[in-house]
Amino acid sequence: MTQETVACAGRLWWVDLTCGAVSMDPFSNQPELRFVPLPNGTSLTFILMEHKDSSAEHLAQFRREVAKYRRIGVSEGRLRFLDASIHDPFLLSSYVLDDEGRSWTLEHQVELRKVLEDGGHPWEQGKRPPQIAIIDPLNADIIYITVGEQKHIVAVDIYQEKVIGSSPLQNQYHSLVPCVLPPWLGSSQIPTAAKSYCI
């Protein structure tokens, strides 16, 4: 599996970003596995075909690299798949899984190069392409990507095709996990052992 397990629509989804996702209902008396392949014709499809007969070590490295440009996550209660091309103009495609959980529908495509340039984060020749970090769990229009050798995280509204926020990353991250915190957490005091910090 090439990313964390995802829970959606009463099922757990184990994801392999090179081919698709396997799901099952963990509470069913007779659990059955269901496989959903990723959409055909996505940006990395042809590159994946070139690597299908590679050594196990090379294939593992390749899978880690693919995970930087593809993501499956839950937003607005639906399973979504993002695919970013690694070539200029860095086309980002957003898909949603149908209600039966059997096929993907293309919802939107956006050229990340133009959006990032307009938002003050121009891509420099020779640098890594923009990488998908996370899908906003509450708003399917918002995608978080990393730019500048993973030194900044940028929030992009893919429907309005604009940058809506950015922040430097302190250290290179290995992965970011989307989460929804309870509303009462912001007004709660969290005790610490020795020092008093304000959260």
- The tens digit of pLDDT for each residue in 166-190 reads 998 877 666 788 888 888 887 777 6
Could you tell me the two tokens for 131? 């990488």
Domain residue spans of the chain: 6-174
Tens of pLDDT, residues 31-69: 999 999 999 877 665 565 565 666 777 777 788 888 889
Q: With contact defined as beta carbons under 8 Å apart, do 20 and 13 qualify?
A: no
Q: With contact defined as beta carbons under 8 Å apart, do 93 and 116 qualify?
A: no
* pTM to 2 decimal places: 0.83
Q: With contact defined as beta carbons under 8 Å apart, do 22 and 31 qualify?
A: no
User: What backbone torsions phi and psi does residue 153 show, to the nearest 5 degrees?
Assistant: -110, 135
Cα–Cα distance measured from residue 161 to residue 131, given in angstroms and rounded to the nearest whole number: 16
